[in-house]
Structure 1
Amino acid sequence: MKKIFKEYKVDKKNLVNRLNIEKNNIDTIELSDSIEKLICFLISAEDHRFYYHFGFDIIAILRAVKNRIIWNKFEGASTIEQQLVRVLTNKYERNLSRKINEIILAYSLKKTLTKREIALIYLNIAYYGSNLEGLNKILNKFGLKPENEINDQICAEVVARLKYPEPAKNSSHKLILIKKRTSHIRFLYKKHSSNKYLNYYDKHN
Protein backbone atom coordinates (compact mmCIF):
# COMPACT_ATOMS: atom_id res chain seq x y z
CA MET A 1 0.00 0.00 0.00
CA LYS A 2 2.89 2.37 0.72
CA LYS A 3 4.17 1.83 -2.82
CA ILE A 4 0.74 2.55 -4.30
CA PHE A 5 0.35 5.71 -2.19
CA LYS A 6 3.82 6.92 -3.17
CA GLU A 7 3.10 6.35 -6.86
CA TYR A 8 -0.26 8.08 -6.46
CA LYS A 9 1.31 11.24 -5.01
CA VAL A 10 3.81 11.50 -7.86
CA ASP A 11 1.23 10.72 -10.53
CA LYS A 12 -1.31 13.12 -9.01
CA LYS A 13 1.17 16.00 -9.17
CA ASN A 14 2.08 15.22 -12.77
CA LEU A 15 -1.58 14.75 -13.66
CA VAL A 16 -2.61 18.13 -12.25
CA ASN A 17 0.15 19.87 -14.21
CA ARG A 18 -0.87 18.17 -17.46
CA LEU A 19 -4.57 18.84 -16.89
CA ASN A 20 -3.95 22.56 -16.46
CA ILE A 21 -2.26 22.59 -19.86
CA GLU A 22 -4.85 20.43 -21.58
CA LYS A 23 -7.74 22.39 -20.10
CA ASN A 24 -6.35 25.54 -21.66
CA ASN A 25 -5.95 23.71 -24.98
CA ILE A 26 -9.60 22.70 -25.20
CA ASP A 27 -10.68 26.28 -24.55
CA THR A 28 -9.66 26.98 -28.16
CA ILE A 29 -12.04 24.31 -29.51
CA GLU A 30 -15.43 25.59 -30.57
CA LEU A 31 -18.11 23.43 -28.96
CA SER A 32 -20.12 22.99 -32.12
CA ASP A 33 -22.95 20.50 -32.60
CA SER A 34 -20.44 18.23 -34.36
CA ILE A 35 -18.08 18.19 -31.38
CA GLU A 36 -21.01 17.49 -29.05
CA LYS A 37 -22.02 14.61 -31.31
CA LEU A 38 -18.47 13.27 -31.36
CA ILE A 39 -18.48 13.28 -27.55
CA CYS A 40 -21.75 11.30 -27.63
CA PHE A 41 -20.20 8.75 -29.99
CA LEU A 42 -17.24 8.43 -27.60
CA ILE A 43 -19.54 7.84 -24.63
CA SER A 44 -21.67 5.35 -26.52
CA ALA A 45 -18.67 3.34 -27.68
CA GLU A 46 -16.38 3.47 -24.67
CA ASP A 47 -18.39 4.21 -21.53
CA HIS A 48 -22.18 4.44 -21.87
CA ARG A 49 -22.65 4.96 -18.09
CA PHE A 50 -20.26 7.91 -18.25
CA TYR A 51 -22.67 10.40 -16.69
CA TYR A 52 -23.68 8.00 -13.93
CA HIS A 53 -20.39 7.06 -12.26
CA PHE A 54 -17.60 8.92 -10.46
CA GLY A 55 -14.65 7.96 -12.62
CA PHE A 56 -14.87 4.18 -12.34
CA ASP A 57 -17.72 1.84 -13.24
CA ILE A 58 -18.27 -0.76 -10.53
CA ILE A 59 -20.79 -2.62 -12.72
CA ALA A 60 -18.24 -3.02 -15.52
CA ILE A 61 -15.51 -4.00 -13.04
CA LEU A 62 -17.64 -6.73 -11.44
CA ARG A 63 -18.68 -8.05 -14.84
CA ALA A 64 -15.06 -8.18 -15.98
CA VAL A 65 -14.01 -10.02 -12.81
CA LYS A 66 -16.85 -12.52 -13.21
CA ASN A 67 -15.99 -13.22 -16.83
CA ARG A 68 -12.33 -13.63 -15.94
CA ILE A 69 -13.06 -16.11 -13.16
CA ILE A 70 -15.82 -18.10 -14.86
CA TRP A 71 -14.85 -17.97 -18.52
CA ASN A 72 -11.16 -16.99 -18.30
CA LYS A 73 -12.07 -14.14 -20.59
CA PHE A 74 -10.26 -10.80 -20.47
CA GLU A 75 -12.67 -7.89 -20.70
CA GLY A 76 -12.01 -4.19 -20.41
CA ALA A 77 -13.79 -2.16 -17.73
CA SER A 78 -12.04 1.18 -18.10
CA THR A 79 -14.05 4.38 -18.07
CA ILE A 80 -13.25 7.45 -20.15
CA GLU A 81 -11.69 8.96 -17.03
CA GLN A 82 -9.41 5.95 -16.63
CA GLN A 83 -8.44 6.05 -20.29
CA LEU A 84 -7.61 9.75 -19.95
CA VAL A 85 -5.47 9.08 -16.87
CA ARG A 86 -3.63 6.34 -18.78
CA VAL A 87 -2.81 8.71 -21.63
CA LEU A 88 -1.75 11.56 -19.34
CA THR A 89 0.45 9.40 -17.08
CA ASN A 90 1.66 7.19 -19.95
CA LYS A 91 1.30 4.12 -17.74
CA TYR A 92 -0.01 0.96 -19.35
CA GLU A 93 1.43 -1.84 -17.20
CA ARG A 94 -0.85 -4.79 -16.55
CA ASN A 95 -0.66 -5.03 -12.77
CA LEU A 96 -2.99 -4.46 -9.81
CA SER A 97 -1.12 -1.53 -8.25
CA ARG A 98 -1.23 0.44 -11.50
CA LYS A 99 -4.93 -0.28 -11.89
CA ILE A 100 -5.75 0.81 -8.33
CA ASN A 101 -3.74 3.99 -8.79
CA GLU A 102 -5.53 4.65 -12.07
CA ILE A 103 -8.96 4.27 -10.47
CA ILE A 104 -8.08 6.66 -7.62
CA LEU A 105 -6.73 9.25 -10.07
CA ALA A 106 -9.80 8.84 -12.29
CA TYR A 107 -12.04 9.49 -9.29
CA SER A 108 -10.06 12.63 -8.45
CA LEU A 109 -10.75 14.16 -11.87
CA LYS A 110 -14.31 15.06 -10.84
CA LYS A 111 -12.93 17.64 -8.41
CA THR A 112 -11.39 19.78 -11.15
CA LEU A 113 -13.15 18.92 -14.42
CA THR A 114 -16.69 18.61 -15.72
CA LYS A 115 -17.71 15.45 -17.53
CA ARG A 116 -17.75 17.32 -20.83
CA GLU A 117 -14.20 18.62 -20.24
CA ILE A 118 -12.98 15.10 -19.42
CA ALA A 119 -14.43 13.69 -22.65
CA LEU A 120 -13.17 16.59 -24.77
CA ILE A 121 -9.64 16.49 -23.36
CA TYR A 122 -9.49 12.76 -24.03
CA LEU A 123 -10.64 13.20 -27.63
CA ASN A 124 -8.20 16.07 -28.08
CA ILE A 125 -5.06 14.16 -27.00
CA ALA A 126 -5.92 10.52 -27.75
CA TYR A 127 -3.83 8.30 -30.02
CA TYR A 128 -5.72 7.33 -33.17
CA GLY A 129 -2.85 5.78 -35.06
CA SER A 130 0.58 6.41 -36.51
CA ASN A 131 1.00 10.18 -36.97
CA LEU A 132 -2.61 10.58 -35.85
CA GLU A 133 -2.13 11.89 -32.32
CA GLY A 134 -4.87 14.24 -31.25
CA LEU A 135 -8.19 15.46 -32.58
CA ASN A 136 -6.84 17.86 -35.19
CA LYS A 137 -4.75 15.20 -36.92
CA ILE A 138 -7.45 12.53 -37.02
CA LEU A 139 -10.01 15.02 -38.38
CA ASN A 140 -7.48 16.27 -40.91
CA LYS A 141 -7.27 12.71 -42.22
CA PHE A 142 -10.89 13.15 -43.31
CA GLY A 143 -10.30 16.69 -44.60
CA LEU A 144 -12.05 18.26 -41.62
CA LYS A 145 -11.45 20.69 -38.75
CA PRO A 146 -13.20 20.68 -35.34
CA GLU A 147 -15.49 23.53 -36.41
CA ASN A 148 -16.69 21.67 -39.52
CA GLU A 149 -19.80 19.51 -39.73
CA ILE A 150 -18.92 15.90 -38.91
CA ASN A 151 -21.34 13.22 -40.00
CA ASP A 152 -22.19 10.04 -38.09
CA GLN A 153 -19.94 7.83 -40.20
CA ILE A 154 -16.83 9.91 -39.57
CA CYS A 155 -17.66 10.25 -35.85
CA ALA A 156 -17.80 6.46 -35.65
CA GLU A 157 -14.59 6.05 -37.68
CA VAL A 158 -12.72 8.47 -35.40
CA VAL A 159 -13.84 6.72 -32.20
CA ALA A 160 -13.19 3.27 -33.69
CA ARG A 161 -9.50 4.14 -33.93
CA LEU A 162 -9.27 4.51 -30.16
CA LYS A 163 -9.57 0.73 -29.90
CA TYR A 164 -7.83 -0.08 -33.17
CA PRO A 165 -5.26 2.65 -33.96
CA GLU A 166 -4.49 2.97 -37.64
CA PRO A 167 -0.98 1.62 -38.45
CA ALA A 168 1.61 3.49 -40.50
CA LYS A 169 1.61 0.78 -43.17
CA ASN A 170 -1.58 -0.51 -44.72
CA SER A 171 -2.84 -3.58 -42.92
CA SER A 172 -5.91 -5.30 -44.33
CA HIS A 173 -6.48 -7.07 -41.00
CA LYS A 174 -6.43 -3.81 -38.99
CA LEU A 175 -8.62 -2.02 -41.54
CA ILE A 176 -11.19 -4.82 -41.30
CA LEU A 177 -11.19 -4.45 -37.50
CA ILE A 178 -11.67 -0.69 -37.80
CA LYS A 179 -14.51 -1.19 -40.27
CA LYS A 180 -16.28 -3.68 -37.99
CA ARG A 181 -15.75 -1.46 -34.97
CA THR A 182 -17.13 1.54 -36.87
CA SER A 183 -20.27 -0.37 -37.79
CA HIS A 184 -20.72 -1.55 -34.19
CA ILE A 185 -20.29 1.97 -32.82
CA ARG A 186 -22.98 3.30 -35.17
CA PHE A 187 -25.28 0.55 -33.87
CA LEU A 188 -24.48 1.47 -30.25
CA TYR A 189 -25.00 5.19 -30.90
CA LYS A 190 -28.42 4.55 -32.40
CA LYS A 191 -29.31 2.33 -29.46
CA HIS A 192 -28.12 4.73 -26.77
CA SER A 193 -29.54 7.85 -28.47
CA SER A 194 -33.04 6.63 -27.69
CA ASN A 195 -32.49 6.21 -23.95
CA LYS A 196 -31.19 8.08 -20.92
CA TYR A 197 -27.46 7.59 -21.44
CA LEU A 198 -26.82 10.23 -24.10
CA ASN A 199 -29.68 12.50 -23.05
CA TYR A 200 -28.32 13.05 -19.55
CA TYR A 201 -26.27 16.05 -20.63
CA ASP A 202 -29.25 17.96 -21.96
CA LYS A 203 -31.24 17.32 -18.78
CA HIS A 204 -28.60 17.91 -16.11
CA ASN A 205 -26.00 20.36 -17.45
Structure 2
Amino acid sequence: MWKTIKRIIFIVLILNVLFIVWGRFFNPPITITQIGGFFEYGKLHRDYISYDEMGNNVKKAVIASEDQKFFVHDGFDYKAIEKAMKNNEKGKKLRGGSTISQQTAKNVFLWQGRSWIRKGLEAVYTFIIEKTWSKDIILERYLNSIEMGQGVFGIEAAAQYYFGKPSKDLTISEAAWIAAVLPNPKKYDPKNPSAYLRKKHNWIMRQMRNVSLK
Protein backbone atom coordinates (compact mmCIF):
# COMPACT_ATOMS: atom_id res chain seq x y z
CA MET A 1 0.00 0.00 0.00
CA TRP A 2 2.75 2.46 1.01
CA LYS A 3 4.73 1.60 -2.13
CA THR A 4 1.69 2.40 -4.25
CA ILE A 5 1.22 5.77 -2.51
CA LYS A 6 4.89 6.63 -2.99
CA ARG A 7 4.66 5.63 -6.65
CA ILE A 8 1.61 7.87 -7.17
CA ILE A 9 3.33 10.80 -5.43
CA PHE A 10 6.42 10.29 -7.58
CA ILE A 11 4.37 10.22 -10.78
CA VAL A 12 2.50 13.38 -9.78
CA LEU A 13 5.78 15.16 -9.04
CA ILE A 14 7.28 14.11 -12.36
CA LEU A 15 4.19 15.26 -14.27
CA ASN A 16 4.34 18.61 -12.50
CA VAL A 17 8.00 19.05 -13.39
CA LEU A 18 7.30 18.19 -17.02
CA PHE A 19 4.36 20.61 -17.13
CA ILE A 20 6.49 23.41 -15.71
CA VAL A 21 9.23 22.72 -18.26
CA TRP A 22 6.57 22.60 -21.00
CA GLY A 23 5.25 25.96 -19.83
CA ARG A 24 8.72 27.46 -20.27
CA PHE A 25 8.34 27.02 -24.02
CA PHE A 26 4.60 26.70 -24.74
CA ASN A 27 1.28 28.15 -23.63
CA PRO A 28 -0.99 25.68 -21.78
CA PRO A 29 -3.19 23.56 -24.10
CA ILE A 30 -6.11 24.45 -21.82
CA THR A 31 -6.60 25.47 -18.20
CA ILE A 32 -9.08 24.49 -15.50
CA THR A 33 -10.49 28.02 -15.55
CA GLN A 34 -10.99 27.88 -19.33
CA ILE A 35 -12.79 24.56 -19.03
CA GLY A 36 -15.01 26.07 -16.35
CA GLY A 37 -15.73 29.09 -18.55
CA PHE A 38 -16.71 26.88 -21.43
CA PHE A 39 -19.20 24.88 -19.35
CA GLU A 40 -20.58 28.04 -17.73
CA TYR A 41 -21.05 30.12 -20.88
CA GLY A 42 -20.98 27.53 -23.66
CA LYS A 43 -18.11 29.24 -25.46
CA LEU A 44 -14.36 29.60 -25.32
CA HIS A 45 -12.85 32.59 -27.12
CA ARG A 46 -9.07 32.25 -26.96
CA ASP A 47 -6.20 33.11 -29.30
CA TYR A 48 -2.66 32.58 -28.01
CA ILE A 49 -0.08 34.99 -29.42
CA SER A 50 3.60 35.64 -28.73
CA TYR A 51 4.92 38.31 -26.39
CA ASP A 52 6.07 40.49 -29.29
CA GLU A 53 2.66 40.31 -30.99
CA MET A 54 0.83 41.71 -27.97
CA GLY A 55 1.85 45.33 -28.31
CA ASN A 56 3.10 47.56 -25.50
CA ASN A 57 -0.12 49.38 -24.60
CA VAL A 58 -1.94 46.34 -23.26
CA LYS A 59 1.15 45.14 -21.38
CA LYS A 60 1.53 48.51 -19.68
CA ALA A 61 -2.19 48.75 -18.94
CA VAL A 62 -2.35 45.36 -17.21
CA ILE A 63 0.85 45.97 -15.24
CA ALA A 64 -0.45 49.40 -14.21
CA SER A 65 -3.71 47.84 -13.08
CA GLU A 66 -2.53 44.64 -11.45
CA ASP A 67 1.14 44.72 -10.43
CA GLN A 68 3.32 47.79 -10.92
CA LYS A 69 6.28 46.10 -9.19
CA PHE A 70 6.17 43.11 -11.54
CA PHE A 71 9.65 43.52 -13.02
CA VAL A 72 11.38 44.15 -9.68
CA HIS A 73 9.81 41.66 -7.23
CA ASP A 74 10.63 37.97 -6.86
CA GLY A 75 7.05 36.85 -7.41
CA PHE A 76 5.59 38.21 -4.18
CA ASP A 77 4.70 41.75 -3.13
CA TYR A 78 5.20 41.45 0.61
CA LYS A 79 3.75 44.88 1.45
CA ALA A 80 0.60 44.04 -0.51
CA ILE A 81 0.39 40.65 1.22
CA GLU A 82 0.74 42.29 4.63
CA LYS A 83 -2.01 44.76 3.76
CA ALA A 84 -4.24 41.95 2.49
CA MET A 85 -3.68 39.96 5.68
CA LYS A 86 -4.75 42.94 7.79
CA ASN A 87 -7.89 43.26 5.67
CA ASN A 88 -8.53 39.55 6.08
CA GLU A 89 -8.28 39.86 9.84
CA LYS A 90 -10.92 42.57 9.80
CA GLY A 91 -13.27 41.02 7.23
CA LYS A 92 -12.24 37.40 7.64
CA LYS A 93 -11.89 37.01 3.87
CA LEU A 94 -8.97 36.03 1.64
CA ARG A 95 -8.49 39.13 -0.42
CA GLY A 96 -5.91 40.75 -2.69
CA GLY A 97 -2.14 40.83 -2.54
CA SER A 98 -1.60 38.65 -5.62
CA THR A 99 1.10 39.59 -8.12
CA ILE A 100 0.98 38.80 -11.83
CA SER A 101 3.34 35.90 -11.12
CA GLN A 102 0.95 34.48 -8.52
CA GLN A 103 -2.02 34.93 -10.85
CA THR A 104 -0.09 33.18 -13.62
CA ALA A 105 0.63 30.24 -11.34
CA LYS A 106 -3.06 30.06 -10.43
CA ASN A 107 -4.36 30.43 -13.98
CA VAL A 108 -1.96 27.99 -15.63
CA PHE A 109 -1.56 25.25 -13.01
CA LEU A 110 -4.44 25.53 -10.55
CA TRP A 111 -8.08 26.51 -10.13
CA GLN A 112 -10.01 29.56 -9.00
CA GLY A 113 -11.03 29.85 -5.38
CA ARG A 114 -10.00 31.29 -2.02
CA SER A 115 -8.98 28.21 -0.04
CA TRP A 116 -5.73 28.10 1.89
CA ILE A 117 -4.76 24.88 0.07
CA ARG A 118 -4.99 26.59 -3.31
CA LYS A 119 -3.10 29.64 -2.01
CA GLY A 120 -0.37 27.38 -0.65
CA LEU A 121 0.06 25.56 -3.95
CA GLU A 122 -0.02 28.92 -5.73
CA ALA A 123 2.93 30.10 -3.63
CA VAL A 124 4.94 26.98 -4.53
CA TYR A 125 4.27 27.31 -8.26
CA THR A 126 5.00 31.05 -8.11
CA PHE A 127 8.40 30.43 -6.53
CA ILE A 128 9.26 27.80 -9.15
CA ILE A 129 8.25 29.79 -12.25
CA GLU A 130 10.06 32.86 -10.96
CA LYS A 131 13.22 30.74 -10.79
CA THR A 132 12.79 28.85 -14.07
CA TRP A 133 10.87 31.20 -16.39
CA SER A 134 11.78 34.76 -17.40
CA LYS A 135 9.58 37.75 -16.58
CA ASP A 136 8.63 38.07 -20.25
CA ILE A 137 7.50 34.42 -20.33
CA ILE A 138 5.45 34.84 -17.14
CA LEU A 139 3.79 37.96 -18.54
CA GLU A 140 3.10 36.22 -21.87
CA ARG A 141 1.50 33.21 -20.18
CA TYR A 142 -0.54 35.55 -17.98
CA LEU A 143 -1.79 37.70 -20.84
CA ASN A 144 -2.71 34.64 -22.89
CA SER A 145 -4.56 32.76 -20.13
CA ILE A 146 -6.22 35.47 -18.04
CA GLU A 147 -10.02 35.53 -18.05
CA MET A 148 -11.15 38.77 -19.72
CA GLY A 149 -14.91 38.29 -19.99
CA GLN A 150 -17.63 35.67 -20.06
CA GLY A 151 -15.93 32.84 -21.95
CA VAL A 152 -13.19 35.21 -23.19
CA PHE A 153 -9.58 34.40 -22.31
CA GLY A 154 -6.40 36.26 -23.12
CA ILE A 155 -5.80 39.78 -24.35
CA GLU A 156 -5.93 38.90 -28.06
CA ALA A 157 -9.41 37.41 -27.78
CA ALA A 158 -10.44 40.33 -25.55
CA ALA A 159 -9.16 42.90 -28.06
CA GLN A 160 -11.12 41.22 -30.85
CA TYR A 161 -14.22 40.77 -28.66
CA TYR A 162 -14.42 44.31 -27.30
CA PHE A 163 -12.83 46.38 -30.09
CA GLY A 164 -12.61 44.18 -33.21
CA LYS A 165 -8.86 44.57 -33.62
CA PRO A 166 -5.58 42.83 -32.70
CA SER A 167 -4.18 43.62 -29.27
CA LYS A 168 -1.06 45.21 -30.81
CA ASP A 169 -3.29 47.88 -32.38
CA LEU A 170 -5.11 48.87 -29.19
CA THR A 171 -4.90 52.52 -28.24
CA ILE A 172 -3.88 53.53 -24.73
CA SER A 173 -7.54 54.09 -23.85
CA GLU A 174 -8.70 50.77 -25.32
CA ALA A 175 -5.94 48.86 -23.53
CA ALA A 176 -6.90 50.56 -20.26
CA TRP A 177 -10.54 49.52 -20.75
CA ILE A 178 -9.49 45.88 -21.12
CA ALA A 179 -7.27 46.06 -18.03
CA ALA A 180 -10.03 47.78 -16.06
CA VAL A 181 -12.20 44.64 -15.99
CA LEU A 182 -9.59 42.85 -13.87
CA PRO A 183 -9.87 41.20 -11.41
CA ASN A 184 -13.61 40.65 -11.97
CA PRO A 185 -14.17 40.23 -15.73
CA LYS A 186 -17.49 38.44 -15.25
CA LYS A 187 -18.93 41.51 -13.53
CA TYR A 188 -17.48 44.44 -15.49
CA ASP A 189 -17.98 45.19 -19.18
CA PRO A 190 -16.06 47.88 -21.14
CA LYS A 191 -18.98 48.02 -23.58
CA ASN A 192 -21.29 49.14 -20.77
CA PRO A 193 -19.03 50.67 -18.10
CA SER A 194 -20.25 51.64 -14.67
CA ALA A 195 -19.14 54.84 -12.94
CA TYR A 196 -16.61 52.79 -10.98
CA LEU A 197 -15.16 51.26 -14.16
CA ARG A 198 -14.83 54.69 -15.78
CA LYS A 199 -12.94 55.94 -12.74
CA LYS A 200 -10.65 52.92 -12.77
CA HIS A 201 -10.07 53.34 -16.53
CA ASN A 202 -8.90 56.92 -16.04
CA TRP A 203 -6.66 55.88 -13.14
CA ILE A 204 -5.03 53.13 -15.24
CA MET A 205 -4.27 55.56 -18.07
CA ARG A 206 -2.53 57.88 -15.62
CA GLN A 207 -0.56 55.00 -14.09
CA MET A 208 0.56 53.73 -17.51
CA ARG A 209 2.85 56.75 -17.82
CA ASN A 210 4.96 55.35 -14.98
CA VAL A 211 5.19 51.78 -16.30
CA SER A 212 8.38 50.50 -17.90
CA LEU A 213 8.50 47.11 -19.59
CA LYS A 214 11.87 46.23 -18.09
* TM-score normalised to structure 1 length: 0.73
Alignment match, 1:21? 26
Indicate whether 1:161 and 2:161 are aligned. Answer: no
Q: Is the 8 A contact 2:160 2:167 kept in 1?
A: no
What is the deviation of 1:180?
2.4
Counterpart amino acid of residue 47 in structure 1 = D
Alignment match, 1:146? 167
Q: Is the 8 A contact 1:46 1:79 kept in 2?
A: yes
Q: Which of residues 30, 53, 62 in structure 2 aligns to 1:30?
A: 53
- Structure with the higher helix share, 1 or 2: 1
Distance 1:86 1:182, change over 3 A: farther
Q: How many residues align?
A: 183
Indicate whether 1:83 and 2:99 are aligned. Answer: no
Indicate whether 1:136 and 2:156 are aligned. Answer: yes
Alignment match, 2:4? none
Distance 1:125 1:163, change over 3 A: same
Alignment match, 1:58? 78
State the SS of the aligned residue for 2:127: helix
Indicate whether 1:45 and 2:50 are aligned. Answer: no
Distance 1:95 1:20, change over 3 A: same
Q: Is the 8 A contact 1:39 1:120 kept in 2?
A: no
1:105-144 mapped onto 2 (5 Å cutoff): 105-141=125-161, 142-144=163-165
1:86-123 Cα shifts (integer Å, max 9, x gaps): 11123224222321221121122123322232222211
What is the deviation of 1:75?
2.8
Q: Is the 8 A contact 1:80 1:119 kept in 2?
A: yes
Q: Could you list the runs of 4 or more consecutive aligned residues of structure 1 that deviate by over 6 angstroms after TM superposition? A: none
Q: Is the 8 A contact 2:65 2:204 kept in 1?
A: yes
* TM-score normalised to structure 2 length: 0.70
Cα distance in 2 for partners of 1:144, 1:192 equals 21
1:25-53 Cα shifts (integer Å, max 9, x gaps): 6447436xxx2221111111111221221
Name stretches of at least 5 consecutive residues in structure 2 with no aligned partner. Answer: 1-8, 29-47
What is the deviation of 1:189?
4.0
Distance 1:74 1:176, change over 3 A: farther
State the SS of the aligned residue for 1:162: coil
CA RMSD of aligned residues (A): 3.1
Sequence identity (%): 23
